[in-house]
Structure 1
Amino acid sequence: MWSKRYDKCRFREELVSYSLGIDLGSTFVAAARATAATVEAVPLGDRSVVPAAVYLQSDGTLASGEAASRGAVSSPDRIGREFTRRLGDPTPVVLGGECYAVTELVGVLLRGVVAQITKAEGERPDRVVLTHPTSWGPFRRALFEESTRQAGLINSLMMTEAEAAAAHYTATRPLSDGEAMAVYDLGGATFDATVLRMHSGGIEIVGKPERIEALGGRDFDEAILSHVNDTADGALTELDMRRPQTFAALARVRQECIVAKEALSADTEATFPVSLPSRTFDVHLTRSDFEDMVRGPIESTIRALSRALQSAQVEPANLSAVLLVGGSSRIPMIARMVSAELRCPTVVDTHPQHVVALGAATHAAHAPQPRYTVPQRSRQHEQRLVSRGTTAAPPTTNGLPPTTNGLHPSTNGLHPSTNGFPGTHPQIPDEQPLIPAQRPAEVLPTSAIPTPRTPSREATPTTARHVRPKQTPPSRKPPSDRKRWPRILLGAGAAVAVAAVIALATFASRHYTQAPPPSISKPALAKPAPTAVASVGPKVAVPTASAIIAVGHTPSFVAVAPDGKHAYVANGDAQVITVVDTAVNQVTATIPLAAGPPQFLTFARDGRMLYVAIFNDQQTKHAIDVLDTVSDTEIATIPQPGSPFDPAISPDGTLLYVPNHDVAALSVISTDTNTVIGKINVAPDPHSIALSRDGSRAYTANHESGLVSVINTATREVVATIPVGFGPHSIAVHPNRPLVANVNYESNSVSVINTNTLKVVATVPVGQQPKDIAWSPDGRFAYVVNSGSNTVSVIDATTDKVTATIPTGAGPSSIALLPNGHQAYVSNVDSGTLTVLELTH
């Protein structure tokens, strides 16, 4: 509960001058106040934070925060959420059929927060400091400045979220000159990693900050919701979404998932009720199960943090600390994983969701800035202010809008101050996509409920460069689709609807004691053409080919290093490995191999070693070659009993599993000694292997037998075989759900397997002769390389349908994604190129 010092009577008796810090996040808004004696978080309504949401009321006015969430239940098409991430996108947000510029909605949200706090405090703040993502460049900062003017915050200042977090940290733990720290900021919808260094009494951002647009606490909520559906035999996917009570039921379930997630930060297990219109049951979830669900996304954030450190040229050992901020950073596993990876201390505030706002308030208290003022406006003037439609910043000689105090948003509007923060930071270009294309949705639309599918007709086998299918097996009836093991279907079309109901479940049960912030009316605007309007919500990934890189003869396989900086290409006929710098998409090295022609590539977890599968057409060479990626030299060659195909490394990096195509067995190699220490017999012609997130199970795609083998890695025994399509070739484990998908080369399809039931739950038709498959880091999409069609198919994991087909070069054979999920590289064996795909827009 919040302190009684916020009682209204107290403010009538004593008015205290204060400064205000506001953290306007993607999903929530937090605020803090600073006086001469204290810095403390300010409650917004009945909670410590409020949703970053705006709602168009029936009278044409715009409500924000909790009032927006409550009003959205009856009319979910009138609420806008997460629109701050779209700042800079000229496409308006549609609320109740009316169009609003993003800058306009941000201004309404800011004005409501300040008005609410002003009413509670009894007077306006002396100064206001607003925070924004560190990765924003001049263009977005200029638009943010425009939003503050629309909110009437004439003399407000701006600073980055990372600088604000550092301000809060250094207020009690001063840093010496030269000391560095990192900020790990995991919020509800985004992740940011920034490195800062103290010098000459100030602190500055060093290197290039990293940002992942579509990763945050909501992904973790969805993972638990998927777990509920998977463990309840698809109870959620069977709901009739046409019934209004279904939305309320789903809202309750999702809220229980959120409560369970938060409880697992303190407890080791949680049990929560699930009440649906047709049944009621309990779901038990342990912390270890939850950690398995989110381990993959968290690993992605740690890789991003490592990239930020490398860009800043700061060794982890030289960090004073890693500050964990954002509400989602409370998950205990995050501190453990960051500490284990970087071997440096981590600092987690008691309320990490308030750290940025507290830092902003700390800075506001010391900033030499004139008193903040709110111009007195008539109601008609307010209406005119928000009725201007899409707003652009007024041009100046430097492309930035002027401010009344002469400060430019490109420099955060901050002068050197007594807390040691300089007035400038590195100019960061707007490199992140303005409209995130891979955002988990939050609903189960009826149209997305799975329907039975049949595999496409069998294709005539064609011999590929590094895959030699044997004679087509005798005709047999393709395995029929089993009853699909349901998955949570997160459709984009109704995401806003469920989000609104969810908010009701969160807030409606609490008594609203404060008056709502002032609303701003808006006259009707002409509706643009449907194709010109993007409503707030998830976007379907429609990748595009952005570049073609010549990489030499027969590039049969491509793999991206764990840090994402380089792509390595196996050129079989040339007997070399080609190295591509992913920052500039240019070849930077060619490494000859004495051991033989390279066919497949697998990196060690730290990227220091590259394991190369070697074999030739004459079958006189078959080995695993170990390449040191620092010196680009071969340090070991490990003989194999047959042609080694696509290997996989264990999660702890100690074992390498190699499918030997000709002998129906796997080799188990110790990465410490580079020797074979075991053998596992599987079905004939294993082509590919993938391991579960915890390494307890391995799955092999066995081309000749039409089976997937399931292996207990502790006993090194096959515990199950699963019939799939003809010619299973490549296999991949979903990053956060109990799913495995394999491509069927001769059936032109993808089989999706539920790893709890070990049954095929979906068969997805794709292009001709699919050869490779990879999941996006967030698990929303699977990318399938079709060697016979010269295309890549994009499969939506929530609907098991192909949502896009992208042309590639001739003879595409493999695909590798960057760790941030923004780009992918497709090897084209016949054209001697890599196709670069932009996966987000």
Structure 2
Amino acid sequence: MTGWDLAIDFGTSFTTTATLAHGRAEVLEIDGSKYVPSLVCVDDDGTILTGRDAVNEAAMAPDRTERVPKRALVASEQVLLGTRTVTTVDLVAAVLARVAGEATRRLSGRPSRVVLTHPARWQAGGAELRRLTEAAERAGLGEPDLVAEPVAAAHHYVRTGDAVPDGGMIGVYDFGGGTFDTAVLRRRRDGFELAGSPGGDAALGGEDLDAAFMEILAEHAEALDPDTWNALWEAEGRVAERHRTLLRRDITQAKEALSRLPAVNLWVAGYDDEIRVTRREYEKAVEPLLARSVAELQDTVARAGTTPDGLVDVFLTGSTSRTPRISALLADLLGHVPGMRDDPKAVVVLGALSTVPGSVSATQHVRLPPRPQDPGRRPPAGPTPPLTPAGFAAPVVPDGATETVRRTPREDVTVRAGRHHAPDPPQADAEAAALIAREIAAIAEAAGVTDLVGAVSPTLHAGDTAEALRRPLVAAVEGVGTAIGTRHTPFPGLPPEVALQVLREGRAELGALGQALTRLDGVTERLTAW
């Protein structure tokens, strides 16, 4: 086949690849997923492994693994993996060669055009773009077109239905697995240019949210058995390292699952029972990080000489941007729900395919090709469900994670046999919990969401502590709220949490549903005060 284009979004945690052939753009699945882990691992004979092979080897040989080669490319020219010194350009080239080879195998022949995306802060003439270009050449891709990630994202949104008038300004909020980037772009007829300097935080990413999740899990695990938790992180050997790697992978997947579920359960090696983490406690833990990201976006908007009200919209990209709390915080800033259609992980790579051949660097004007006239075309109805790599998400290791989770047993924690065994609480607590459980069930029925949440009857034991009685009730309230946001959303495609917030604001006009929301808020207040 001839006449096909290739785009690669080499990310900190995942790499996404797309092709354009016969007028059809498609995100490639490699190793069963559209998102290839960016980590690399050197095997015993010096071969650089990528994708699933690298993930499997990394579990056994963390000393020979570079988990964030994109950061390594910025920081230095070479790294020490095991006993071998490897250039960072070679590490990146291995990832690019792997995904490009898969595209070539499927479409045959060399691509007519190769586009690589990069952070807007990587400027023309800088070491980062030079090394990225060199990696592409070593991967056999020739000299690629380079397009800034926010510019590519803007192209995709515009080409899939969002109207931005000439001179209009948009914000791009890119919260990826390892970094956070912001930019404001100005529309110039058929393209975009940067307005003001881009922003972001190289030390903020989804892995920091993973670390916050780990802290919550550590608190729950230590409350059950601190010795088992400490042993998990202090044990040596390949079996222990594999347990830790699998736990990190499970945490990443559980964090993403909380975007659509009120709670998740995780199995931790050494514990007989699963440990439950709720969306409420997770969002409370990550709130400072998310608020920091919104403040950075505000600073970027100010540097562009405008205000949030002056933006046409803010477009979300990156694997972490689907977190419902992010949409809620940005909605408070903008006065409306930010733009998020399609899978945010693939927005950048698909947008890169729509840029004009020969465009390079985020500082230059990138023109959009003429948009085909298709009167039957309609923008997508709403965002697709979040997609999580099945079974082989890159095990992310936040800096200092070991120090964060290795704790000494606290003197005030009493280790008990089994799960949540404690002296009997006052009978009043058990009776109050039963009354609240019945009220939650009645609210679900009044709101017409019983079929979505099932029977709301949290398991309550007379011997449970007050906190143990409260936990399942909190999870039940969150489940009912998510179900209401899902079923009664005022606009298709809104995340359930944002939809619930909108419904709450207009409850006065919602009749029985509004009354149910007021009752739900009352239960939430009672549980908070408990």
Q: Does the aligned pair in 2 maintain the 1:320–1:344 contact within 8 Å?
A: no
Q: Does the aligned pair in 2 maintain the 1:167–1:362 contact within 8 Å?
A: yes
Q: Tell me the residue number matched to 1:237.
A: 230
Using CA pairs under 8 Å that are at least 6 residues apart, name the structure with larger relative contact order, 1 or 2: 2
Flag the 1:91–1:157 CA change in 2: closer, same or farther, 3 A: closer
Decide which of 186, 190, 195 is 1:201's aligned counterpart.
190
For the residues of structure 2 that align with 1:409 and 1:205, how far apart are their CA atoms?
A: 11
Q: Does the aligned pair in 2 maintain the 1:298–1:334 contact within 8 Å?
A: yes
Deviation at 1:36, TM superposition (A): 4.0
For the residues of structure 2 that align with 1:410 and 1:152, how far apart are their CA atoms?
A: 24
For the residues of structure 2 that align with 1:224 and 1:118, how far apart are their CA atoms?
A: 39
For the residues of structure 2 that align with 1:322 and 1:114, how far apart are their CA atoms?
A: 31
Matches within 5 A, 1:661-740: none
Please state whether the residue corresponding to 1:289 is helix, strand or coil: helix
Structure 1 or 2: larger helix share?
2
Q: Tell me the residue number matched to 1:292.
A: 284
Q: Report the residue type matching 2:148 in the other structure.
A: T
Decide which of 48, 52, 58 is 1:72's aligned counterpart.
58
Q: Report the residue type matching 2:299 in the other structure.
A: R
The reply on whether 1:272 has 2:266 as its aligned counterpart is yes
Decide which of 150, 165, 190 is 2:153's aligned counterpart.
165
For the residues of structure 2 that align with 1:326 and 1:410, how far apart are their CA atoms?
A: 18
Q: Does the aligned pair in 1 maintain the 2:90–2:135 contact within 8 Å?
A: yes
Deviation at 1:106, TM superposition (A): 1.5
For the residues of structure 2 that align with 1:344 and 1:133, how far apart are their CA atoms?
A: 27
Q: Tell me the residue number matched to 1:19.
A: 5
Flag the 1:166–1:340 CA change in 2: closer, same or farther, 3 A: same
Decide which of 122, 126, 131 is 1:143's aligned counterpart.
131
Decide which of 106, 109, 115 is 1:120's aligned counterpart.
106
Flag the 1:250–1:134 CA change in 2: closer, same or farther, 3 A: same
Flag the 1:20–1:77 CA change in 2: closer, same or farther, 3 A: same
Flag the 1:334–1:90 CA change in 2: closer, same or farther, 3 A: closer
Q: Tell me the residue number matched to 1:652.
A: none
Q: Report the residue type matching 1:331 in the other structure.
A: T
Q: Report the residue type matching 2:87 in the other structure.
A: A
Deviation at 1:175, TM superposition (A): 1.8
Flag the 1:92–1:314 CA change in 2: closer, same or farther, 3 A: same
Please state whether the residue corresponding to 1:193 is helix, strand or coil: strand
Q: Report the residue type matching 1:144 in the other structure.
A: L
Flag the 1:155–1:92 CA change in 2: closer, same or farther, 3 A: closer
Decide which of 317, 334, 341 is 1:325's aligned counterpart.
317
For the residues of structure 2 that align with 1:17 and 1:442, how far apart are their CA atoms?
A: 47
Q: Does the aligned pair in 1 maintain the 2:294–2:330 contact within 8 Å?
A: yes
Please state whether the residue corresponding to 1:100 is helix, strand or coil: strand
Please state whether the residue corresponding to 2:59 is helix, strand or coil: coil
Please state whether the residue corresponding to 2:315 is helix, strand or coil: strand
Q: Does the aligned pair in 1 maintain the 2:60–2:241 contact within 8 Å?
A: no
Q: Report the residue type matching 2:112 in the other structure.
A: D
Q: Tell me the residue number matched to 1:597.
A: none
The reply on whether 1:350 has 2:342 as its aligned counterpart is yes
Q: Report the residue type matching 2:242 in the other structure.
A: A
Q: Does the aligned pair in 2 maintain the 1:22–1:131 contact within 8 Å?
A: yes
Matches within 5 A, 1:465-504: 482=411
TM-score (norm. length: structure 2): 0.67
Flag the 1:261–1:484 CA change in 2: closer, same or farther, 3 A: same
Please state whether the residue corresponding to 1:265 is helix, strand or coil: coil
The reply on whether 1:34 has 2:20 as its aligned counterpart is yes
Deviation at 1:290, TM superposition (A): 1.4
Deviation at 1:156, TM superposition (A): 1.4
Q: Tell me the residue number matched to 2:209.
A: 220
Q: Tell me the residue number matched to 1:253.
A: 247
Please state whether the residue corresponding to 1:112 is helix, strand or coil: helix
Flag the 1:415–1:349 CA change in 2: closer, same or farther, 3 A: closer
For the residues of structure 1 that align with 2:33 and 2:146, how far apart are their CA atoms?
A: 25
Provide, for residues 201-238 of structure 1, a one-character-per-residue CA deviation record: whole Å limited to 9, x for no partner: 32111111112112111122222222111012234223
The reply on whether 1:96 has 2:82 as its aligned counterpart is yes
Q: Does the aligned pair in 2 maintain the 1:23–1:29 contact within 8 Å?
A: yes
Flag the 1:333–1:450 CA change in 2: closer, same or farther, 3 A: closer
For the residues of structure 1 that align with 2:256 and 2:49, how far apart are their CA atoms?
A: 28
Q: Does the aligned pair in 1 maintain the 2:136–2:143 contact within 8 Å?
A: no
Decide which of 425, 437, 440 is 2:398's aligned counterpart.
440
Flag the 1:345–1:307 CA change in 2: closer, same or farther, 3 A: same
TM-score (norm. length: structure 1): 0.43
Flag the 1:333–1:89 CA change in 2: closer, same or farther, 3 A: closer
Deviation at 1:357, TM superposition (A): 0.6
Flag the 1:18–1:174 CA change in 2: closer, same or farther, 3 A: farther
Q: Report the residue type matching 1:77 in the other structure.
A: D
Please state whether the residue corresponding to 1:69 is helix, strand or coil: helix
Q: Report the residue type matching 2:194 in the other structure.
A: I
Flag the 1:17–1:186 CA change in 2: closer, same or farther, 3 A: same
Matches within 5 A, 1:497-646: none
Q: Tell me the residue number matched to 1:179.
A: 168
The reply on whether 1:306 has 2:295 as its aligned counterpart is no
The reply on whether 1:111 has 2:97 as its aligned counterpart is yes
Flag the 1:484–1:311 CA change in 2: closer, same or farther, 3 A: farther
> Which of structures 1 and 2 has the bigger CA Rg?
1
Deviation at 1:142, TM superposition (A): 2.2
Decide which of 144, 147, 152 is 1:156's aligned counterpart.
144
For the residues of structure 2 that align with 1:144 and 1:49, how far apart are their CA atoms?
A: 19
For the residues of structure 2 that align with 1:254 and 1:90, how far apart are their CA atoms?
A: 26
Q: Report the residue type matching 1:38 in the other structure.
A: R
* Runs of 5+ consecutive residues of structure 2 not aligned to the other structure: 372-396, 416-523
Q: Does the aligned pair in 2 maintain the 1:167–1:419 contact within 8 Å?
A: no
Provide, for residues 664-722 of structure 1, a one-character-per-residue CA deviation record: whole Å limited to 9, x for no partner: xxxxxxxxxxxxxxxxxxxxxxxxxxxxxxxx9xxxxxxxxxxxxxxx9x98xxx9xxx
Flag the 1:267–1:417 CA change in 2: closer, same or farther, 3 A: closer
Provide, for residues 294-330 of structure 1, a one-character-per-residue CA deviation record: whole Å limited to 9, x for no partner: 1110000000000000000122112111111001111
Decide which of 53, 58, 68 is 2:39's aligned counterpart.
53
Identical aligned pairs, as a percentage? Answer: 29
Please state whether the residue corresponding to 1:348 is helix, strand or coil: coil
For the residues of structure 1 that align with 2:112 and 2:187, how far apart are their CA atoms?
A: 28
For the residues of structure 2 that align with 1:259 and 1:442, how far apart are their CA atoms?
A: 20
Deviation at 1:443, TM superposition (A): 5.2
For the residues of structure 1 that align with 2:31 and 2:237, how far apart are their CA atoms?
A: 32
Provide, for residues 148-184 of structure 1, a one-character-per-residue CA deviation record: whole Å limited to 9, x for no partner: 2222221311010000101101112242111111110
Provide, for residues 564-605 of structure 1, a one-character-per-residue CA deviation record: whole Å limited to 9, x for no partner: xxxxxxxxxxxxxxxxxxxxxxxxxxxxxxxxxxxxxxxxxx
For the residues of structure 2 that align with 1:330 and 1:485, how far apart are their CA atoms?
A: 38
For the residues of structure 2 that align with 1:262 and 1:131, how far apart are their CA atoms?
A: 24
Structure 1 or 2: larger strand share?
1
Q: Report the residue type matching 1:242 in the other structure.
A: E
Deviation at 1:444, TM superposition (A): 3.5
For the residues of structure 1 that align with 2:267 and 2:94, how far apart are their CA atoms?
A: 37
The reply on whether 1:418 has 2:410 as its aligned counterpart is no
Q: Does the aligned pair in 2 maintain the 1:39–1:362 contact within 8 Å?
A: no
Q: Report the residue type matching 1:160 in the other structure.
A: A
Please state whether the residue corresponding to 1:208 is helix, strand or coil: coil
Decide which of 48, 70, 84 is 2:70's aligned counterpart.
84
Matches within 5 A, 1:790-801: none
Deviation at 1:50, TM superposition (A): 0.7
Deviation at 1:248, TM superposition (A): 2.3
Flag the 1:353–1:321 CA change in 2: closer, same or farther, 3 A: same
Flag the 1:448–1:197 CA change in 2: closer, same or farther, 3 A: closer
Flag the 1:168–1:51 CA change in 2: closer, same or farther, 3 A: same
Deviation at 1:348, TM superposition (A): 1.4
For the residues of structure 1 that align with 2:345 and 2:236, how far apart are their CA atoms?
A: 36
Q: Report the residue type matching 2:89 in the other structure.
A: T
Q: Tell me the residue number matched to 2:180.
A: 191
Please state whether the residue corresponding to 2:96 is helix, strand or coil: helix
